[in-house]
Structure 1
Amino acid sequence: MPSTYETLNVNTDSTTTKTILHEVLPLTGTLVSGTYDSPDGTSFNIKNYTHGMFQSVYDYPFLSSSANHIYDITFAYDESSTLSGSASVQNSKKINIYNQFSQILLGYTGSDNKVRLFESDITLDTVGQMKEVIFVPFSRLITKDQIKKGSFSIELGTGSFASPFTTPGGSRLLLQDASASANGGTAPTIGGDYGVLYENNGDGTFGNGSLSGSGVVFYQAGVAVLTASVFHLTNSFGVSTGPISDFGTGSTGGMETIDALMTGSSITASCDSLRHRIYNISFNNSTEINSTIYFCRLPVNKFNYSSNPTYTSGSKIRVKNVASDLPVSYVTTVGLYNARNELLAVAKLSEPLKKTPQNELTLRVRLDY
């Protein structure tokens, strides 16, 4: 039990700071297709559900206690989409998924309180609406507090199903939030800030010259939204000539376009086909650390003795060889107490610090939370 306390002045002896830490998260395509596949093609780290509304991707076979949830994948469209209809498989579920994400991330608009539609720009002016989309919500485990603005990229294979990434027979589409940064290029919504995902043209430019992109990413929510039209072919003038003919395997077992999959097959089948085309996902997460820093001052006339019973022997200070020598103590620990002298926190020094009546110390103690 200490016998001496030094009162901290909260106005002059403490301050607060905020630190942002970033981690690079490279999520390779082999994680979602191939790493943990069995000979029959079953992926042990991909979890499907009886409700059939989304797939979950894990970094290890999901039945293992060591597995961590990484992200989910699902397909959806708005009720005003041309793909919506009573004949479409899981039609109501796909509409409900779209509405749920829209309610949470964008909210409502208009006098009739309709949910907003996702757009491929940051204006939310009903131009560039994305009615058929792919949602990729990431686990809070990897996004932490938020995705760092300007760091997100996703690379997709747009070639044939047999060879989606490499030539001959394949190519890759790189989407990045190139215009987003901590200082701008994003738009605020009830779901947090979001930025536009533009196609990287490979020559230092992005997009097709317009302000619209191929998807958006919500940084605080940790959700990427891609338009299904990224898997549509375009001619030399940038005009769509229709979807890729063999985007994936449909319910009939044959190759189908993404539009045909979204209407004629389950969400699970669409997710399986998309996973086959994910080459890489990368972003930096952000962790905000708030700190209070206390400056613990040891004046010249205090803390020169120790209350440790071993400090003295036979009424003599062990660290003094001559009676006229100055007392010496070695500081190893700092304790922070409340007004009732109840211990609240303990800080350990990396090495003992010598304290005598001839020197004064100031110890900087930081509490992170």
Structure 2
Amino acid sequence: MATTFKSLGSSDVTTTRTLLHESIPVTGSIVSGTYGGTGVALGSEPHIKTYSHGMFQSVFDYPHLSSSANHIFDITAGYASTSAMSGASSTQNAKKINIYNQMAQVLMGYDETGSVRLFDADGDTTGGTKIKECYFLNFSRVLTKDEVKKGTFQLELGSVSAFAQGNLFDKRIRVTDTSGSDGYFVNSPAGEYGVLFAETIRDGDATLSTALLQSETITSNASVANTRPACGLIFYQAGVVVLSGSTFNDAALGGILDTSDNDAMEMISAAAATHNGFQIMTGSTIDVMASALRNRIYNVQFNNTTELNSTIYFCRANNTEFNYSANPTYLSTSGGPSEIVVKDATAGNDPISYITSVGLYSPDNELLAVAKVSEPLKKDPSNELTLRVRLDY
């Protein structure tokens, strides 16, 4: 227990904020359905958990019944009640509308009339194109920590038109938040969010030469030029990706795919009469929709962010302070009055102590925290010490 106290002044305390980032790569084999082999039906893979309510799927990095499995993200899909897909004949119509409304009210909030705002393609909630049909990817807090780092999100999707399980990646598009680092929005009750854009990264040839998206040009040096079409939103603090259904449709169905090279994606069956893209939403369950998206995910990666707040205390020991130990054996009372026990018992020797720990106390002298030094620090009247104590939270 301390017997000597020293008060800390305002100049002895400061605070800092540090952002730590970690790269999170999620390989496509875990997500796309090839984890259990192509002989395992989509939705029946051991690392995919489905629920009796049928409103979303959960993706794990190991079989979900394993004690070592970690939850990666959930996948679901929905549409607005004003969507052309909404109707009494649509499969799970009420559930899909409820999912859309639930996500929209949490992520977009309400307008001045009290109505839930629809997801907006360009982030301008006052007007513009609305995203009425979409997938939702809700990433686990284990991965995103405090938030997804802006400008680092990438989602690669196989864009081969014809259906095949786990073999759709000869052509790929990449969805990124390219403007996220400086072009994000703050008009969401869930925090900051950015617009997702798509670009061609593989066209099936040895060199990138053919655009898979509308209004896209591939330059002579195999890079993408012109406007990248918007295809969704990412909410950084919430860790939620809203992927527009237009990502899977060609222009004839209101999508972003270039019809001249790539029809709407065939999502669930090679026996389908047409490549019907996101239009399968009307006749498919949410579980089927989730499996269809997983089957086309080649890779997901982003950097997460951990916000570390610290209070730093500068504990200063001047030359005349803390030169005596709090250990009662430091003083000897044998044979007379108390005296300092020194090595050679020579009168007049300066006192010496060794600092091993620093205690932080409340104004009522209640011990709140203890900091240990790596090795004892010698303290005597000939030196001064400043110990930097940091509390992280």
2: CA distance, partners of 1:255 / 1:209: 28
Contact in 2 for aligned 1:122/1:187 (Cα 8 Å): no
Residues 224-249 of structure 1: per-residue CA shift (max 9 Å, x gap) = 011111112359xx775495352223
> CA 1:267–1:249 in 2, change beyond 3 Å: closer, same or farther?
farther
2: CA distance, partners of 1:254 / 1:271: 21
Match of 1:292 among 308, 311, 314: 311
> CA 1:243–1:114 in 2, change beyond 3 Å: closer, same or farther?
farther
Q: Counterparts in 2 of 1:96-245, with a 5 A limit?
A: 96-109=98-111, 111=113, 113-159=114-160, 160-162=162-164, 163-166=167-170, 171-181=171-181, 183-201=182-200, 209=227, 213-233=230-250, 241=259, 244-245=264-265
Q: Which runs of 5+ in 1 are unaligned?
A: none
Contact in 2 for aligned 1:194/1:217 (Cα 8 Å): yes
Shift of 1:197: 0.8
Show the counterpart of 2:323. 304
> CA 1:245–1:69 in 2, change beyond 3 Å: closer, same or farther?
closer
Contact in 2 for aligned 1:53/1:267 (Cα 8 Å): yes
Match of 2:288 among 251, 266, 269: 269
Residues 9-65 of structure 1: per-residue CA shift (max 9 Å, x gap) = 2x1211111111111111111112233559644311111010100001112221122
> CA 1:331–1:322 in 2, change beyond 3 Å: closer, same or farther?
same
Q: Which runs of 5+ in 2 are unaligned?
A: 202-218
Give 3-state SS (helix, strand or coil) of 1:249's partner: coil
2: CA distance, partners of 1:209 / 1:172: 18
> CA 1:254–1:275 in 2, change beyond 3 Å: closer, same or farther?
farther
Give 3-state SS (helix, strand or coil) of 1:18's partner: strand
Q: Counterparts in 2 of 1:46-57, with a 5 A limit?
A: 46-57=48-59
Q: What is the TM-score with the length of structure 1 in the denominator?
A: 0.88
Residues 125-175 of structure 1: per-residue CA shift (max 9 Å, x gap) = 432221110100111121111111111111111113323102xxxx11101
Contact in 1 for aligned 2:257/2:263 (Cα 8 Å): no
Contact in 1 for aligned 2:61/2:71 (Cα 8 Å): yes
Shift of 1:319: 4.6
What percentage of residue pairs aligned between the two structures are identical? Answer: 48
Shift of 1:78: 1.1
> CA 1:253–1:55 in 2, change beyond 3 Å: closer, same or farther?
farther
The residue type paired with residue 371 of structure 2 is: A
> CA 1:324–1:88 in 2, change beyond 3 Å: closer, same or farther?
same
Show the counterpart of 1:68. 70
> CA 1:3–1:258 in 2, change beyond 3 Å: closer, same or farther?
same
Contact in 2 for aligned 1:248/1:256 (Cα 8 Å): no
Q: What is the TM-score with the length of structure 2 in the denominator?
A: 0.83
Contact in 2 for aligned 1:320/1:328 (Cα 8 Å): no
> CA 1:68–1:114 in 2, change beyond 3 Å: closer, same or farther?
same
Contact in 2 for aligned 1:74/1:271 (Cα 8 Å): yes
What is the root-mean-square deviation in Å for CA atoms of aligned residues? 2.7
1: CA distance, partners of 2:224 / 2:272: 36
Contact in 2 for aligned 1:147/1:286 (Cα 8 Å): yes
Contact in 2 for aligned 1:333/1:347 (Cα 8 Å): yes
> CA 1:310–1:244 in 2, change beyond 3 Å: closer, same or farther?
farther
Residues 254-286 of structure 1: per-residue CA shift (max 9 Å, x gap) = 986333421111110111111111111111111
> CA 1:37–1:310 in 2, change beyond 3 Å: closer, same or farther?
farther
Residues 62-91 of structure 1: per-residue CA shift (max 9 Å, x gap) = 112222211100111112212111111101
2: CA distance, partners of 1:219 / 1:172: 24
